[in-house]
Structure formats: structure tokens, C-alpha cells
Chains A and B, each alone.
Chain A
């Protein structure tokens, strides 16, 4: 079955340190991959997507994500975390359809 996994419920990082939020996807065709962010009491905002080409994708607010086909992963990264990056992050995939399959979300806490 097609699925997206975010193995960490929460990630804690100190401000200024690099951050990584992990995502893996099931191998069933070649999905397109997305990251979204949700701030408190808000809807989801699109951050970036991988369609094809360069494995390192750059997105909004200084975020980037690395596509790794052999490990079926699409981890979200940022070189230097900000307190304002604290939010809920969702990874999602589309498998030959316009519908998205979402992971369960990872809460990122950035401490001053």
C-alpha cells in the first residue's frame, strides 16, 4: 500500500543549529513529494516539492529537502533554525493521482 511515514513525533533543536525533519515513502511507482508547514490555528502552507531533476530542492523560508531514491526518503532540512520555525510539518506524496497521502506530522520545537 502507498504510504508516507514521519518517524518522529517531535524534533527539538536549539536556535542557530541545523535541523532535519525525516520523511520516508513507500516504493510504489514514482511519487511526487511535498512538504507543508502548519502554524498554530492555521491551515497548511506549501514549502517545497520534488518532481524530477536535482535531488536537492529549495523552498520557502530557507528550507530545503533532499530526495534519496535508494533510501526512499525526502528529509526536510534547514542550515540554521529560527524560533519562528517552530510549527507542525507534514510530508506528503502523490502516486499517479491528484490526491495526496500525508504523513502523521512532526512537531518542530526550536529553543532560544
Chain B
């Protein structure tokens, strides 16, 4: 079974802090994704990585950056957290190719106060 793990289930940070969210997958998938989920808005793609050190902006990259130094690990960085970044963050991975489904981690609920 594919397993995608995220470093924290719940996180509380203060405005202006730098925040790191970590994601690890164990199935040697080429693709990794970071989404945020907000009620009524569904899932919105923040960043996508299709290979080590390769990344592509998603629909809402502002205020975020990512790092993929190893194939199994994809980090999301909030450079200076703001209250409007309070959300559920979901990581996913997939094989390369549009026919393949994505496998999701359990999510990190981030609250910025």
C-alpha cells in the first residue's frame, strides 16, 4: 500500500513565523503535490513537483515555497505565516502520467494566530 505521511496533524503558529510542513511518500512516486483545503473552495493546488529539485507553481503559490531535495520528501514552507493561511494542508503523490490517481496524506490543520 502507498503511504503518504505528513509531519504534523495539528500545528499552531504565530503570525510572522516561518513554518515548515513535511511530507514523505514510500512508493517511489515521481510526482508530489501540496494542496490547501478550505470549506466551499475544495482543494486548491499550491505547488507541484515532478522530479527532484523540479517544481511548478499551482493556482495559489503566493506566500509559499517548496523544496524537494530527495524523491520521497516534499516540503512546504510558509515564509512568514499570516492568519489567512490558516487552513488544512494536504500532501499527495502519484506516478508520472495523467491516468494515475493521487495518494493523499492525512493532512495538517494549521492555525495561525
Q: Interface of A with B (CB < 8 Å)?
A: 9, 32, 34, 36, 41-46, 49, 51, 90, 94, 96-100, 102-105
Asked if A43 and B98 make an inter-chain contact with CB atoms under 8 angstroms apart, the answer reads no
Mostly, the A contact residues are loop
Asked if B102 and A90 make an inter-chain contact with CB atoms under 8 angstroms apart, the answer reads no
- Which B residues are CB-close (under 8 A) to A46? 101-103
For chain B, the bracket of interface size reads 20 to 34
Asked if B31 and A49 make an inter-chain contact with CB atoms under 8 angstroms apart, the answer reads no
A-B contact count (CB 8 A): 57
1/0 per position for B96-113, CB-CB distance to A under 8 A?
Answer: 111111111111000000
Asked if B41 and A104 make an inter-chain contact with CB atoms under 8 angstroms apart, the answer reads yes
Cβ-neighbour of A43 out of B94, B99, B104 (below 8 A)? B104
CA distance A104 to B40 in the complex (A): 6
What is the chain B residue whose CB lies nearest that of A94?
B98
Asked if B45 and A99 make an inter-chain contact with CB atoms under 8 angstroms apart, the answer reads yes
Known: A43-B4, A94-B98. 10 other contacts (CB 8 A): A34-B101, A43-B106, A44-B43, A46-B101, A97-B98, A98-B31, A98-B48, A99-B45, A102-B43, A103-B42
| B58 interface residue per 8 A CB criterion | yes
| B64 interface residue per 8 A CB criterion | no
Cβ-neighbour of A102 out of B4, B42, B99, B107 (below 8 A)? B42
What is the chain B residue whose CB lies nearest that of A48?
B101
| B66 interface residue per 8 A CB criterion | no
CA distance A44 to B92 in the complex (A): 9
Asked if A98 and B50 make an inter-chain contact with CB atoms under 8 angstroms apart, the answer reads yes
Asked if A104 and B106 make an inter-chain contact with CB atoms under 8 angstroms apart, the answer reads no
| B90 interface residue per 8 A CB criterion | yes
The answer to whether residues A43 and B107 also contact, given A34-B101, A98-B96, A104-B41 and a CB cut-off of 8 A, is yes
The answer to whether residues A104 and B42 also contact, given A43-B4, A43-B90, A44-B104 and a CB cut-off of 8 A, is yes
